[in-house]
Amino acid sequence: MNHSAHEETDNDFPLKGIRVLLVEDNFFNQLLASKILENWKCQVEIAGNGHIAIEKVRENFFDLILMDIQLPEMDGYEATVYIRTKIPAPKCLLPIIAMSANAFANEIEKCLSLGMDDYVSKPFDEHILFEKILKTLQKKSG
Protein backbone atom coordinates (compact mmCIF):
# COMPACT_ATOMS: atom_id res chain seq x y z
CA MET A 1 0.00 0.00 0.00
CA ASN A 2 1.24 3.44 -0.89
CA HIS A 3 0.88 5.95 1.95
CA SER A 4 0.98 9.64 1.22
CA ALA A 5 3.05 11.98 3.35
CA HIS A 6 -0.07 13.21 5.10
CA GLU A 7 -2.85 10.75 5.78
CA GLU A 8 -6.20 12.12 6.78
CA THR A 9 -7.02 10.97 10.27
CA ASP A 10 -10.12 11.51 12.39
CA ASN A 11 -8.12 14.13 14.25
CA ASP A 12 -8.11 16.21 11.07
CA PHE A 13 -11.90 16.03 11.04
CA PRO A 14 -13.24 16.39 14.59
CA LEU A 15 -16.78 16.82 13.18
CA LYS A 16 -16.60 13.66 11.04
CA GLY A 17 -19.88 11.76 11.09
CA ILE A 18 -21.78 14.50 12.92
CA ARG A 19 -25.38 14.56 11.70
CA VAL A 20 -26.47 18.14 11.12
CA LEU A 21 -29.96 19.38 10.34
CA LEU A 22 -29.58 22.59 8.36
CA VAL A 23 -32.78 24.64 8.62
CA GLU A 24 -32.52 27.24 5.89
CA ASP A 25 -34.97 28.42 3.22
CA ASN A 26 -32.55 30.17 0.87
CA PHE A 27 -31.27 27.80 -1.82
CA PHE A 28 -27.89 29.53 -2.18
CA ASN A 29 -27.35 29.47 1.59
CA GLN A 30 -28.34 25.78 1.67
CA LEU A 31 -25.73 24.97 -0.97
CA LEU A 32 -23.02 27.04 0.67
CA ALA A 33 -23.56 25.75 4.21
CA SER A 34 -24.02 22.10 3.21
CA LYS A 35 -20.83 22.21 1.11
CA ILE A 36 -18.87 23.61 4.07
CA LEU A 37 -20.34 21.01 6.44
CA GLU A 38 -19.64 18.19 4.00
CA ASN A 39 -16.03 19.38 3.68
CA TRP A 40 -15.81 18.82 7.46
CA LYS A 41 -17.20 15.28 6.86
CA CYS A 42 -20.56 16.05 8.48
CA GLN A 43 -23.74 14.38 7.27
CA VAL A 44 -26.21 17.09 6.29
CA GLU A 45 -29.96 17.12 5.90
CA ILE A 46 -31.83 20.24 4.85
CA ALA A 47 -35.20 21.56 6.00
CA GLY A 48 -36.69 24.56 4.20
CA ASN A 49 -38.82 25.78 7.10
CA GLY A 50 -39.64 25.14 10.75
CA HIS A 51 -42.44 22.65 10.06
CA ILE A 52 -40.16 20.46 7.96
CA ALA A 53 -37.43 20.77 10.60
CA ILE A 54 -39.79 19.48 13.31
CA GLU A 55 -40.84 16.51 11.16
CA LYS A 56 -37.20 15.65 10.47
CA VAL A 57 -36.32 15.88 14.17
CA ARG A 58 -39.23 13.56 14.99
CA GLU A 59 -38.25 11.00 12.34
CA ASN A 60 -34.44 11.06 12.45
CA PHE A 61 -31.52 11.38 14.80
CA PHE A 62 -29.31 14.46 14.61
CA ASP A 63 -26.34 15.65 16.65
CA LEU A 64 -26.90 19.34 15.95
CA ILE A 65 -29.35 21.78 14.36
CA LEU A 66 -28.28 24.92 12.51
CA MET A 67 -31.44 27.03 12.66
CA ASP A 68 -32.02 30.04 10.45
CA ILE A 69 -34.24 32.58 12.19
CA GLN A 70 -36.02 34.08 9.15
CA LEU A 71 -38.04 31.19 7.74
CA PRO A 72 -41.34 30.97 5.87
CA GLU A 73 -44.43 29.48 7.62
CA MET A 74 -42.72 28.79 10.94
CA ASP A 75 -39.62 30.76 11.90
CA GLY A 76 -36.57 29.56 13.78
CA TYR A 77 -37.83 30.90 17.11
CA GLU A 78 -41.13 28.98 16.87
CA ALA A 79 -39.41 25.81 15.67
CA THR A 80 -36.90 25.95 18.54
CA VAL A 81 -39.61 26.47 21.15
CA TYR A 82 -41.59 23.58 19.66
CA ILE A 83 -38.56 21.26 19.72
CA ARG A 84 -37.66 22.29 23.28
CA THR A 85 -41.19 21.98 24.70
CA LYS A 86 -43.15 19.44 22.62
CA ILE A 87 -40.67 16.81 21.49
CA PRO A 88 -39.74 14.17 24.07
CA ALA A 89 -36.20 13.76 25.43
CA PRO A 90 -33.53 13.20 24.34
CA LYS A 91 -34.43 14.96 21.07
CA CYS A 92 -35.71 18.09 22.83
CA LEU A 93 -32.15 18.57 24.13
CA LEU A 94 -30.53 18.70 20.69
CA PRO A 95 -27.95 21.47 20.42
CA ILE A 96 -29.34 24.31 18.31
CA ILE A 97 -27.19 27.07 16.85
CA ALA A 98 -29.11 30.04 15.49
CA MET A 99 -28.10 31.64 12.20
CA SER A 100 -29.29 35.11 11.36
CA ALA A 101 -28.37 38.17 9.33
CA ASN A 102 -29.61 40.41 12.20
CA ALA A 103 -26.78 40.21 14.69
CA PHE A 104 -28.30 42.61 17.21
CA ALA A 105 -27.63 42.01 20.89
CA ASN A 106 -31.35 41.69 21.67
CA GLU A 107 -31.76 39.04 18.98
CA ILE A 108 -28.84 37.04 20.35
CA GLU A 109 -30.38 37.27 23.84
CA LYS A 110 -33.76 36.18 22.49
CA CYS A 111 -32.18 33.12 20.81
CA LEU A 112 -30.44 32.09 24.02
CA SER A 113 -33.51 32.74 26.16
CA LEU A 114 -35.60 30.46 23.91
CA GLY A 115 -33.18 27.63 24.49
CA MET A 116 -30.75 27.93 21.61
CA ASP A 117 -27.18 27.01 22.50
CA ASP A 118 -25.29 29.54 20.42
CA TYR A 119 -25.59 32.08 17.64
CA VAL A 120 -23.73 32.76 14.41
CA SER A 121 -24.40 35.78 12.21
CA LYS A 122 -24.80 35.46 8.46
CA PRO A 123 -22.96 35.56 6.25
CA PHE A 124 -20.98 33.36 8.60
CA ASP A 125 -17.24 32.96 8.85
CA GLU A 126 -16.38 29.27 8.34
CA HIS A 127 -13.87 29.27 11.19
CA ILE A 128 -16.30 30.84 13.64
CA LEU A 129 -19.03 28.36 12.66
CA PHE A 130 -16.60 25.45 13.05
CA GLU A 131 -15.49 26.62 16.51
CA LYS A 132 -19.08 27.17 17.65
CA ILE A 133 -20.19 23.71 16.47
CA LEU A 134 -17.22 22.09 18.19
CA LYS A 135 -17.75 24.05 21.41
CA THR A 136 -21.51 23.35 21.46
CA LEU A 137 -21.05 19.61 20.91
CA GLN A 138 -18.34 19.42 23.60
CA LYS A 139 -20.58 21.27 26.06
CA LYS A 140 -23.46 18.86 25.39
CA SER A 141 -21.35 15.71 25.63
CA GLY A 142 -19.28 16.93 28.56
Domain of 98, CATH number, reads 3.40.50.2300
How many domains does the chain fold into?
A: 1
Q: What is the arithmetic mean of pLDDT over 31-35?
A: 96
36 occurs within a structural domain: yes
52 occurs within a structural domain: yes
Q: What is the arithmetic mean of pLDDT over 97-116?
A: 90
1 occurs within a structural domain: no
Q: What is the arithmetic mean of pLDDT over 34-46?
A: 97
pLDDT at 8: 66
pLDDT at 7: 66
Q: Please report which confidence band the pLDDT of residue 6 belongs to, taking 50, 70 and 90 as the band edges.
A: low
Domain range enclosing 28: 15-141
- Coil/strand/helix, residue 61: coil
Side-by-side strand order, sheet with 118-121? 43-47, 19-23, 64-68, 96-100, 118-121
Q: Please report which confidence band the pLDDT of residue 102 belongs to, taking 50, 70 and 90 as the band edges.
A: confident
10 occurs within a structural domain: no
39 occurs within a structural domain: yes
Q: How far is CA 135 from the centre of its chain?
A: 12
Q: What is the arithmetic mean of pLDDT over 52-75?
A: 96
Return the H-helix or E-strand segment holding 19: strand 19-23
Average pLDDT for the chain: 92
Measured CA distances, 18 to 8, 44, 98 (Å): 17, 8, 17
Q: How far apart are CA 44 and CA 16, in angstroms?
A: 11
7 occurs within a structural domain: no
8 occurs within a structural domain: no
Q: What is the arithmetic mean of pLDDT over 94-111?
A: 90
pLDDT at 88 over 60: yes
CB-based contact 121:103 (threshold 8 Å): yes
Q: What is the arithmetic mean of pLDDT over 69-93?
A: 96
C-alpha distance across the termini of the chain, in Å = 38
Share of the chain above pLDDT 90, in %: 81
